[in-house]
Copies of this chain bind each other. A is one copy, B any other.
Amino acid sequence: MGKSKKEALRRTVLEAAAKLFAQRGFGGTNLQDIADSLGISRPALYYYFKSKDDILASLVEEVTVFSVHQATELASKADFNPSETLRQMVFNHAKWLLEHPIEFRVVDRTENDLPAATRRTHDKAKRALLDNFTRIVERGIELGHFRPVDATVAAFSIIGMCSWTAWWFMPHGRVPLDEVAKSIADFAVAGLRWGNNVLPREFGAEEALRRVKDDLAHLERLIRRSDKRR
């Protein structure tokens, strides 16, 4: 069997197992159930995974490790802009979760049943995700892009917005997946940037001029409108 074909079949087994874990709980599912749901024999299943713990370990690997890699990569880019980097990080994380809600739910709900080694991988990856988000928020505050919030609380708030999608998003609902991810990313960035009422510490002359022009144009419209009413 070619490597890519084996990988595709392994993915299929993983998804079927995740679905059963989500429906019946990890404790309520055995390897026979998984084999049955795929219409294959138990020996055929053994070819991909040796045990339930082995399957769970793979799910943890998928769910927690992927997002972290992406985030670390983005945060270390040379042309660094806190808002745009954060927007991209949140978008990627949300999109990944939106595409893998069942896997995420299973890992999240079986945290306490994870074998010790898998639990360590899981905890480490979760910690790294939190650290990545915290660092980018801190960096944005230092550079005057973001409000001086508690960076850890902000990072947890962002992670919460993303994680919660696994319990409410409908794949074929009214709002497409990419739009939900974009909406959450925009929310996160807007929630941290300075609002209308405060001037950021670092605020270039060009941006100030652009704002003055915008405001004057708006004032002009307001005057014209009130002239018409007279």
Contacts and interface: CB of A to CB of B under 8 A. Distances in A.
Interface of A: 109, 147, 149-150, 152-154, 156-157, 159-165, 168, 174-175, 179-180, 183-184, 186-188, 190-196, 199-200, 203-205, 207-209, 211-212, 214-216, 218-219, 222-223
Which of A109, A157, A168, A207 has most B Cβ within 10 Å? A157
Main secondary structure of the interface of A (DSSP, over half): helix
A14 to B, nearest CB: 22
B152 A161 contact: no
Contact of A154 (B153, B183, B194, B204): B183
B218 A187 contact: no
A22 B156 CA distance: 22
Report the 7 A-B pairs with minimum CB-CB distance, sorted nearest first: A160-B164, A191-B191, A187-B191, A157-B161, A160-B161, A208-B215, A190-B191
Nearest to A158: B161
Given A149-B187, A153-B184, A188-B191, A208 B199 contact: no
A192 B186 CA distance: 9
A95 to B, nearest CB: 14
